[in-house]
Amino acid sequence: MISEEKISKIGGVLNDPRRPLKERFRALFTLKNIGGSVAIKCIADCFSDNSALLKHELAYCLGQMKDPAAIPILTSILSDVKQEPMVRHEAAEALGAIGCELETVLPVLGQFKNDDVPEVKETCQLAVDRLQWISSGGKDGGNIYGSVDPTPSSLNKNVKELESILLDNNVDLYDRYQAMFALRDLGTPECILSLSKGLKTGSALFRHEVAFVLGQLQSPVSVPYLIDGLRDKSLNEMVRHECAEALGAIGTDECMEVLRQFLEDDKVVVKESCEIALDMCDYENSPEFQYANTLLKI
C-alpha cells in the first residue's frame, strides 16, 4: 500500500509549474498507475495549469483509470468552453472510456454532440456511440497496449477491406475508428502502412488518433509518415503534437534528431510535445524499468 502522504507528494510534483514538464508528466502517470481518490484529486487540482498539453493528458489519464469518481471533473472540463479544444476533446473521450453512470454522462455528451469545435463535436459523437454499445452489452476485450479505446476493434475483415474503411471519409467515423484499431491489433507491416496513409486524410481528430495508434505500435515503418506530419505546419496542432509523441515512443536516433528540430516550434503544444517525446526517447533507450517512476524519487 502507498500512503496518502506519498501520493500527495507525487501530486505536489505534478502541480508544481516550476518543475520541468517531463517530471510532471512522469508524476501524472505515476498517479494514474496508483489510482484511487487521492490520486484523482491531485490530477483534478492541476486543471488550472497553463499547459494545454498537460491538461489534455490529465483528462486522458482520468479516462484510462476508469474510476467513476472522475466523472464530475471531466464533465466540468468538457462543459467549460474557455478550455482549449484539445482539453475538452480529451475530457469527452475520457467520459466514454470510463463507461458507466450512463444516465448522467450520456445527456452531457449529447449536449455537446453539435459543439462549434469540430474536435469536441466528433469526440462526443464517438463517446455516445461507445456508451450505447456498452449499454447494449458490449464489453472491452482488452488489448496488448492496455489502453481503453474510443471504439471496439473490428477484426472480421481483411487488411485491404479495413484500409478501405479507414481511408473513406464518407464512412461513419465510428466505423473508421473500429477499422483503425483492428489494423493496430493485427500489427503487420502492411497494417502499419495502411494506418500511415490515414495521416493524410480525414479530420484533425481522426488523424491525431492515427498518430496515437502508430505510437502504440512503435514501428520504424511509420517514422517517415510521422515526421511528415510533425513537419507539416498546415496541420492542426493536435495532429502534429501526436506525431511528435509517437516519434518519442519509437525512439530511434532519427526520431530524436527530428524532435530536437521542433523544440522551439511556434505552437506551444508542439514544442512541449517534443520535450516530452525526447524524454520518452531517453526512457526507451535506457535501462529504466518504468517510465512512471516518481514514486522512486520522492
**Annotated binding-site positions:** 56-57, 89-90, 208-209, 241-242
Cα–Cα distance between 173 and 201 in angstroms, integer?
12
DSSP assignment string, 141-197:
---TT----SS----SS-HHHHHHHHT-TTS-HHHHHHHHHHHHHH--HHHHHHHHH
Instruction: Give the containing element (helix H, strand E) for 102.
Output: helix 102-111
DSSP label at 86?
H
Cα–Cα distance between 85 and 101 in angstroms, integer?
24
- Cell numbers given for 126: 464517438
Nearest CA-CA partner of 122 in 132, 130, 112: 112
Annotated binding-site members for Fe cation: 56-57, 89-90, 208-209, 241-242
Give the number of other Cβ atoms within 10 Å of residue 110's Cβ.
Answer: 13
Phi and psi angles of residue 142, each rounded to the nearest 5 degrees, phi first: 80, 160
Nearest CA-CA partner of 212 in 174, 248, 255, 173: 248
